[in-house]
Amino acid sequence: MQAPAIASQRGRWTPLVGAPAAAHGGPRPAMVARRGGGIASPHAPWPLPPRLPLRAGSGGTRSSVPRPAAAGFRALASGDGGLMSGSGGGVGGGGRRLAPTPLPVASSSGRCGSTQRRQRNPQQQQQQQQQQQQQQHAPRGPAPARAASAAMPADDGPAAAPGDAPAPRQLPPTPALRLPVFQPWSLGQPLAWGFMLGYMLFMLVLPIAALLSKASMVPLAEFWARATEPVALSAYYVSFSMAILAGLINGFFGFILAWVLVKFEFPGKKWIDAAVDLPFALPTSVAGLTLATVYSEEGIIGAILTKMGVNVIFTRLGVAVAMVFVSFPFVVRTMQPVLQEMEREVEEAAWSLGASPWDTFTKVLLPPLLPPLLTGTALAFSRAIGEFGSIVIVSSNFPFKDLIAPVLIFQCLEQYDYVGATVIGTVLLMISMVMMVGVNYLQSLGQRSK
């Protein structure tokens, strides 16, 4: 009696090793080799897939094919003469593992041929064992290489289709970027806070507090009388009027210069940009000396203006020129970053919508530029009020003519009038603080407009 056989992919029959003998009796199911491989049997609902890898166990069978194919294979094991029997060889309790390689051809009479196993060399067996161990220890996942050996669902549940694509793995959400929280008392920051508070205390708070405490010792009536003297009022007027004029001039020409430096490219641009900061580095006395040399009656510009009947030196006009010179960089350096951040596409969009150049400037560009322009003008005004070194040289320092408040304080100190100097200095300090509050408010408006 020949043993039952398994068909390979080429449609050939091969007998199973250790098949039950003919002594068991009973009719055997007819095996028909189909085209492309497989086994047709009355006991199986569909043909088994070719090259079915089977493993022998102590109490049953184990297969790496899907559950429906395994169920069909178990149907062939029922009855006498099946492919798997508990008492014979086959794939039962003592059976050996079938090789997933092409098997010999069976007889064409429907019965199986001889029970011979193809011999394999030791290297192939060792490679196959290594592959089996890798498959056993490989982690389960949706990789295509492990799709055939995925875990089978329960018998009572729906079977997964062999061609179904694995579900994509959902990556964990990316955590949001968290900026470091400012903790004033964390490690390393107390030292920085100590340096900052100490510097502010000794360089800013204590001098101002000393001046205010000195002014508080003066009676209120005397304080008001010294602060409202005619000489003091004239000095206030000259100082603030010339400072306002210098701030307006710097605001206009500083805006134009900043616009040219940002919007245009020309030879010598870097030199002009570097020369803007020259008043910051130049001592005020040197600035006054250069202005007196240029605008005097014998100077290059002063000689021309003198012929026209305009005198600059020793007049209020000279005071204004000195204030413009020392406060000029504030407007330019305040406007440049804002102009650099403005995009060219904004102007092009306005032009494409039919806006004229004037409308584009007044309605599109000027609104975001107005807060920094006012800030730069206010800074220039504050710097002009406190100017002393250059104005002492270019002005006559006569009361009711071109005497400014800082020069008046210096004259009071020369006369040992410390009370008058304290009162006038306190008035200028209060005005400067009010101006700085206004500057900070304008800066906040500029940030809101962004």
The DSSP annotation for 244-270 comes to: HHHHHHHHHHHHHHHHHHHH---TTHH
Q: Which of 116, 149, 165 is the last residue of a domain?
A: 116
What is the span of the domain harbouring residue 78? 1-116
0.75 exceeded by pTM: no
Q: CA–CA separation, 450 vs 445, rounded Å? A: 9
Q: Which residues of 102-118 are buried (b: 16+ CB within 10 A; e: fewer)?
A: ebebbeeeebbbeeeee
Same-domain check for residues 108 and 225: no
Q: At what angle do helices 316-341 and 230-263 cross, to 10 degrees?
A: 40
Q: Residue 131 falls within a domain, yes or no?
A: no
Q: CA–CA separation, 168 vs 13, rounded Å? A: 41
Q: Residue 361 falls within a domain, yes or no?
A: yes
Q: At what angle do helices 418-449 and 230-263 cross, to 10 degrees?
A: 30
pLDDT one digit per residue (tens) for the chain, 450 residues: 444 444 444 444 444 444 444 444 444 444 444 444 444 444 444 454 454 444 444 444 444 444 444 444 444 444 444 444 444 444 444 444 444 444 444 444 444 444 444 555 667 777 787 777 777 665 554 444 444 444 444 444 455 455 555 666 776 777 666 666 655 556 567 788 888 888 999 988 999 999 999 999 999 999 999 999 999 999 999 999 999 999 999 999 999 999 999 988 889 899 999 999 999 888 888 999 999 999 988 888 988 998 888 888 889 999 999 999 999 999 999 999 988 888 888 888 888 888 888 888 888 888 888 888 888 898 899 899 889 989 999 988 888 988 999 999 999 999 999 999 999 999 988 888 887 887 778 777 766 665
Closest CA to 426 of 440, 416, 412, 439: 412
| Per-residue model confidence (pLDDT) at position 196 | 87
Same-domain check for residues 402 and 268: yes
Same-domain check for residues 257 and 402: yes
Same-domain check for residues 109 and 232: no
Q: How many domains does the structure of the chain reveal?
A: 2
List Cα–Cα distances, 223 to 14, 109, 207, 386, 422, in angstroms.
Answer: 123, 133, 20, 21, 9
Q: Residue 144 falls within a domain, yes or no?
A: no
Contacts of 73 (CB under 8 A, 6+ apart): 44, 48, 52, 61, 63, 65, 83, 84
Q: Which of 65, 81, 116 is the last residue of a domain?
A: 116
Same-domain check for residues 102 and 235: no
Same-domain check for residues 318 and 439: yes
Same-domain check for residues 255 and 388: yes
Residue 150, classed as helix, strand or coil, is coil
Same-domain check for residues 111 and 213: no
Q: Residue 362 falls within a domain, yes or no?
A: yes
- Maximal CA-CA distance, the chain: 143
Residue type, 127: Q
Q: Which of 95, 116, 137 is the last residue of a domain?
A: 116
Q: Residue 195 falls within a domain, yes or no?
A: no
Q: Residue 149 falls within a domain, yes or no?
A: no
